[in-house]
Structure 1
């Protein structure tokens, strides 16, 4: 009996490491490496990082309208025309195809020194938009890292199920061999051989389907890491679950770190600054201008055929809005409505996060309980399978009972891996909502 138990243990270990030979030629992808590769290559993260850099580049006083503008100007016009001029004494001067030209060039400076403080509100708004870009980048990173971790642990779960199906197929192969040997010596009917072969074919089909699912999940993870989707790899088998999470701590972290909540707060602030910019249109606009210009005029006919000049010009411009068809009032009303909408969106996001946290936390607690339950069920199913296989060797049990024990073990293993996976996914979702997702 000890010899047979050793044989069954060897069979299960064989199925456990069935893919070891293939795995040697494959990459062993750890979670840390998967996340690192995704952070470096994922297209969504790169695109969001570019948007954040644009928002950062936009934070300048010049973009806010606080600095002067300097322009260089050049104008050169030429004419060819017939001209006639009659002087006061009756003398007539005529020129045919006379040439003339006008040349002007110089440098001018324009500077708006006051526009109702709109430039200061705009500069502050640009700073808030930069923070909004950072919050959006953080949200993209959290989302894509969460996707990578979910897919990674999905692969771990599928590896567990692959081994369960490997075990089932190995046992079915043993049953086919045993049934054929018993049939040849006249101790079993042909029906036992056929039943064993049908069960073996069923387990082979299940294994092939699971292998297909596993390969497709590999492709999906490669896509998230933005690398060649044809790369084959394996992942470590362990799923470590953080079972110390508390709803109170998660809620506190979410109120401080959740990027969606940060973005909603920043959007409200941007709307408030928009209202300031609109209200600034009620105030005068004062500007300074100065420049240095050179001009030269040449004509074929006239009192002066050539004149030149150069020098400095300067001045002040001011404008006061008086009436614009009540558009100012309309724009201010709309700006206040936008502030109200931004506040409503903030309240909505906050409520949604709290709702998702409460729901996800309850699911997380349920899955933790299921992990403990299914772990015990798998242990019992394994013991039952060992006892059943021993009885099958002694010929004191039917093949139907063997098949039941075999399926019970496979199903218990699958349920246990599913429970582990769902508990881990729940943990990741909670930490993602709290903005505290890490390795």
Structure 2
């Protein structure tokens, strides 16, 4: 008996070790400890764990790589995908038998009072009984109308659906990071334009102030340049605000716990490229229809819905199971007998009952009528299949629309960038000429104000168009999933 108990304990320890090991095979990067805190104070050090120390200039590629590693929403999509595959593995367990083990222990003690027998002699039996029993029960579902097979296939396609959902989250995250990164660069350029305008207005203010003191120009000219200087400073304040808020949004996408980039973060210069020549739009549409993960996700969802429908039909089939059991029990009882008027035992004996059992059988179950539940479940599954078909069709149309819009947006922004680049050259030359004419006294102050305003607007239009080209490129890449 002792050997059997040790054997059972060994099996239990082995099963626990296997279970513990399987739970430890899949791990994930924990969330930053600071997000569990009620305050931000004292958690600033977490930012150093996100931005590489060797990173002198934060490029777009580095920002995207950091976002893919740290963005909590994207990581949650990965965990959802892993959970979906575990549900698929769970469905495979339905093909294996179910085995249960049992163990029982009993202990009884009886010490009755002394009683008289028919002959008038007092007697009583004191007894102690102990019993042990172990057993194994197994059941194996052999056939249930292919419900297991259809459910397993449905779970497999659902897991693939989550895989494509993760890939689609990556596509959207890269697009968002690229757009927000470009907003930072745009704010930097607007900051440059505002500072350049301030320097121009300050230079003319200083020159005009000297002329006013010499009596060469009226006070209104001095006041004009002071006003223009204040307007330029206001534009600088707006550009700095846009720069800071854009960095906050970028830090959020990068998964930085503090919600901001380091103060010493530097960015590369904005690209001056006005775009490249595109192929025919049909090529981009075909690429998108072949690559878009959200479209693949709806296709997998439709397949899963079809297999779910097939499994509903299996409910009309009988189910057949194999059953078996093994058991072993041992009961030992010890009796102490007393005779006569003495309370001391005059005799004792033991009884041992030991037995082993085994059984097996086949069981079948067939539901004949269940209140039309099976029928309505099939109709429900059919409706879900139709829903999946229309969702797939809607996604197909949306993909084509997004590609066409991104394609046209890229072409438009490219044309505007080329045009604004030419315009800036003309306006710059014009402003320089008007400035010289004003200093020579050949043109009015209002004309100089107009020329400088046109220069600021032309420069702003150009940098906005160049950034829009980069955003349109990111949108086109996202719409075709070519990254």
TM-score normalised to structure 2 length = 0.77
Deviates more, 1:341-350 or 1:388-397: 388-397
Pairing 1:381–2:415 present: no
Deviations 1:279-327 (A, max 9, x none): 11111211222232112346789xx965321243322222122111111
Equivalent of 1:67, from 79, 90, 96?
96
Pairing 1:159–2:205 present: no
TM-score normalised to structure 1 length = 0.85
Whole-Å separation in 2 of the counterparts to 1:90 and 1:237 = 117
Equivalent of 2:207, from 178, 181, 191?
178
Whole-Å separation in 1 of the counterparts to 2:91 and 2:387 = 30
| SS of aligned partner of 2:94 | coil
- Contact kept, 8 Å, 1:239 with 1:424, in 2: the verdict is no
Cα distance, 1:388 vs structure 2: 1.9
Cα distance, 1:393 vs structure 2: 3.1
Matches within 5 A, 1:394-433: 394-433=440-479
- Contact kept, 8 Å, 1:83 with 1:98, in 2: the verdict is no
Pairing 1:57–2:90 present: no
Whole-Å separation in 2 of the counterparts to 1:94 and 1:410 = 120
- Contact kept, 8 Å, 2:91 with 2:155, in 1: the verdict is no
Whole-Å separation in 2 of the counterparts to 1:308 and 1:368 = 92
Equivalent of 1:314, from 352, 360, 366?
360
Equivalent of 1:206, from 221, 235, 257?
235
Whole-Å separation in 2 of the counterparts to 1:434 and 1:324 = 49
Equivalent of 2:223, from 189, 194, 197?
194
Q: CA RMSD in A?
A: 2.8
Whole-Å separation in 2 of the counterparts to 1:261 and 1:174 = 58
Cα distance, 1:262 vs structure 2: 0.6
Whole-Å separation in 2 of the counterparts to 1:347 and 1:83 = 83
Equivalent of 1:261, from 295, 299, 302?
295
Matches within 5 A, 1:313-332: 313-332=359-378
Deviates more, 1:205-214 or 1:314-323: 314-323
Q: Alpha carbons of 1:118 and 1:410: their partners in 2 closer, same or farther (altered >3 Å)?
A: same
Deviations 1:78-119 (A, max 9, x none): 4567999xxxx999x997996655543122222112111122
- Contact kept, 8 Å, 1:155 with 1:217, in 2: the verdict is yes
- Contact kept, 8 Å, 1:268 with 1:339, in 2: the verdict is yes
| SS of aligned partner of 1:234 | coil
Deviates more, 1:116-125 or 1:353-362: 353-362
Deviates more, 1:259-268 or 1:399-408: 399-408
Q: Alpha carbons of 1:204 and 1:280: their partners in 2 closer, same or farther (altered >3 Å)?
A: same
Equivalent of 1:236, from 255, 258, 269?
269
Partner of 1:18: none
Whole-Å separation in 2 of the counterparts to 1:233 and 1:421 = 18
Cα distance, 1:141 vs structure 2: 0.3
Whole-Å separation in 1 of the counterparts to 2:243 and 2:459 = 17
Q: Alpha carbons of 1:152 and 1:397: their partners in 2 closer, same or farther (altered >3 Å)?
A: same
| SS of aligned partner of 2:145 | coil
Partner of 1:10: none
Partner of 1:23: none
Equivalent of 1:138, from 167, 172, 176?
167
Partner of 2:347: none
Which structure carries more relative contact order (alpha carbon 8 Å, separation 6+)? 1
- Contact kept, 8 Å, 1:64 with 1:122, in 2: the verdict is no
Partner of 1:19: none
Cα distance, 1:252 vs structure 2: 0.3
Whole-Å separation in 1 of the counterparts to 2:464 and 2:398 = 27
- Contact kept, 8 Å, 1:80 with 1:98, in 2: the verdict is yes
| SS of aligned partner of 2:322 | strand
Q: Alpha carbons of 1:95 and 1:198: their partners in 2 closer, same or farther (altered >3 Å)?
A: farther
| SS of aligned partner of 1:76 | strand
Partner of 1:362: 408
Q: Alpha carbons of 1:94 and 1:317: their partners in 2 closer, same or farther (altered >3 Å)?
A: farther
Deviations 1:46-90 (A, max 9, x none): 111111222233333764511122222113344567999xxxx99
Residue-pair matches, total = 407
- Contact kept, 8 Å, 2:328 with 2:357, in 1: the verdict is yes
Provide structure 2 residue ranges, at least 5 long, that are not aligned to the other structure: 1-54, 336-349
- Contact kept, 8 Å, 1:113 with 1:286, in 2: the verdict is yes
Deviates more, 1:416-425 or 1:246-255: 416-425
Whole-Å separation in 1 of the counterparts to 2:292 and 2:119 = 90
Deviates more, 1:320-329 or 1:98-107: 98-107
Cα distance, 1:216 vs structure 2: 1.1
Cα distance, 1:263 vs structure 2: 0.8
Q: Alpha carbons of 1:219 and 1:34: their partners in 2 closer, same or farther (altered >3 Å)?
A: same
Provide structure 1 residue ranges, at least 5 long, that are not aligned to the other structure: 1-25
| SS of aligned partner of 1:309 | strand
Pairing 1:112–2:141 present: yes
Q: Alpha carbons of 1:386 and 1:331: their partners in 2 closer, same or farther (altered >3 Å)?
A: same
| SS of aligned partner of 1:65 | helix
